[in-house]
Structure 1
């Protein structure tokens, strides 16, 4: 079995490229670094057998490292599980938000950490200089400080932490290839769980949530913008610095180009809209449970039509077990129909 470890960055490449065109200092470097997978660490999973093992591999402990503005991870330990608060606000945020993510999976979805085998959560803050991004590289999280004008530290957003750690959940479950429709599904599931975790932590509902992704990391020159809107894809931003939000909300506007790994961040908007519509009908927590059940049945090359079938079937099975409303399958299929799926 091939293990697909996506180097999944939070701020999409088309936004990074627009920042570079606008002359934002450090944007070209951020764009380049965001594309480069980190070399495998010696303690990484060696083969598929260990990767798929359910044997405990950790204690679900948090380890936050300070990169000290170097382009390296695990430079200096900043805070370990059980340590008291430090003077580093970004380290504290990463620590606290990772705990919220871990608790959500444990309490709501009955999942033991990212791999469901008590994997430790490794987080790196202050990565590089003016690095406008955050990424999951296959076994740990890394956050840039932002440039302070366009973006602030990415560790300050629960959305970001939840989104990137969800890439790890997807990696251990469906192992979706980070390309085309399966890659867009990968991004979509991260937006789903990032948003669901934020709503759960803040006591929001589908009706009261803003459904924006990344609005908390906007600096003073981009305040009021966001990276994505699950409620209204294509409306998150429109300015001279970031450009125009290219996300479609319907399959008739599906992006067919080669940029962004053939649209992994772009076409995820179609699926995000479907999840928003489903959440408005059955509630965000219930919709997230249905999507989570489906994720465990998907496979690396699954496409949009595959996902629609599996998600709808998961809703039906949960309804049979009394864990979802009886009409959940109809409401889920209706949500997908609104965005032109299945094709």
Structure 2
């Protein structure tokens, strides 16, 4: 299967703001992080991909590696499936986050790993030095330690782990092109199911009304004025700080951003479908993964969804799926959610 470009949790506009506003050391951290996308793409293009497990084995196994603050992938294996807990908190957070993500997809949507065929999950921690990002490179998830000044370690938030693995789910289903509206949908899918992983993982599990709908809560270091990287409940309010700037995400099509940056604003305009999902989840009530999540999953995995789908294409498909799954009442709930973000189905 063709792989999309490297997909990162921290948008480039945040790193560019740090390059413009930070100290020399902070600017260096940001520049180094921005340069990794091309480096990882080149490394992965040159490396042959071996089968992750024997073809007859349809059980997903988790493997966590340590890059030792280098950029060599995958690194040294430090915890495999069934191994005891590590003394390294980052290793355990990835191992457990993989399990939680697998559980959501398997127990709720009957999906067998990200490819629906038991694909092993591979994660690398301690990637590079002071690396301020987490990413999916088409074959594995990669997590930086953060610099400790602006960002904490990127394994700290289970929704970030779910976000990166969901890029894999999208890769093996709709393969949404990583540009413009299809790219914003790609990012939104990862936020949606990353948030559902967090809600499903919480103890007790959280309803749509109880969830905070924040993506990456805990990633900002204490000096930064912000709650998270993004807010699905209130796009544009997740952070505002002189060093990293203000959250630019729009909640509706009235604020849609036309830009050549970030592959057409994939991390910015994803706020619109994110907010539509939040509204749909509230319209249904209860656990968001049961109804709104089922509608989104059914649409994402529908073969009719084009890799170049725009917001309206996806919205119309979710309305159809809602009616098929939950009748006219479900259809109206989804229609209303999209209408409130300025998309008429």
Whether these two folds match at TM > 0.5 is: yes
Instruction: Show the counterpart of 2:167.
Output: 167
TM-score in terms of structure 2 length: 0.92
Question: C-alpha deviations, 1:162-217, integer Å up to 9, x for none?
Answer: 00100000010001100000000000100000001100110111111111111221
**C-alpha offsets along residues 237-293 of structure 1, whole Å, 9 cap, x if unaligned?**
111111011111111111011111101010010111110000001131211111000
Would the aligned equivalents of 2:226 and 2:240 in 1 still touch at CA under 8 Å? no
Task: Give yes or no for contact 1:131–1:146 (8 Å, CA) kept in 2.
Answer: yes
Q: 1:173, 1:247 → 2: CA distance? A: 26
CA distance in 1, matches of 2:159, 2:174: 21
The match for 1:290 is 295
**What is the deviation of 1:65?**
0.2
Q: 1:197 is matched with which residue?
A: 197
Measured in 2, the distance between the counterparts of 1:280 and 1:340 equals: 17
Match in the other structure for 1:316: 323
Structural mapping, 1:144-163, within 5 Å: 144-163=144-163
In 1, the alpha carbon distance for the partners of 2:148 and 2:279 equals: 35
CA distance in 1, matches of 2:104, 2:241: 35
Distance in structure 2 (CA, Å) of the matches to 1:333 and 1:142 = 37
Residue of structure 2 equivalent to 1:338: 340
- Whole-angstrom distance in 2 between the partners of 1:219 and 1:72: 27
Structure 1: which 5+ residue stretches go unaligned?
46-54, 321-325
Moved more, 126-135 or 295-304: 295-304
Checking the alignment, whether the CA contact within 8 Å between 1:105 and 1:112 is kept in structure 2 is yes
Q: Do 2:226 and 2:241's aligned partners in 1 also have CA atoms closer than 8 Å?
A: no
Determine the C-alpha separation between the residues in 1 that align with 2:165 and 2:306: 19
1:8 maps onto 2:7 in alignment? yes
Match of 1:50 in 2: none
For residue 93 of structure 2, what is the aligned residue in structure 1?
93
> 1:48: which partner in 2?
none
TM-score (norm 1): 0.92
> What does the per-residue CA deviation read over 1:280-321, in whole Å, with 9 as the maximum and x for residues that have no partner?
01131211111000001222111111001111111111125x
Paired with 2:167 and 2:323, the residues of 1 have a C-alpha distance of: 26
Q: Kindly report the root-mean-square deviation, in angstroms, between the aligned alpha carbons of the 2 structures.
A: 1.6
Structure 2's unaligned 5+ residue stretches are: none
Distance 2:156 2:264 in 1: 29
CA contact 1:44–1:139 (8 Å) conserved in 2: no
Superposition pairs of residues 18-97 of structure 1, within 5 angstroms = 18-23=17-22, 24=26, 25-36=28-39, 37=41, 38-40=43-45, 41-43=47-49, 59-97=59-97
Residues 120-135 of structure 1 correspond to what in structure 2 (within 5 A)? Answer: 120-135=120-135
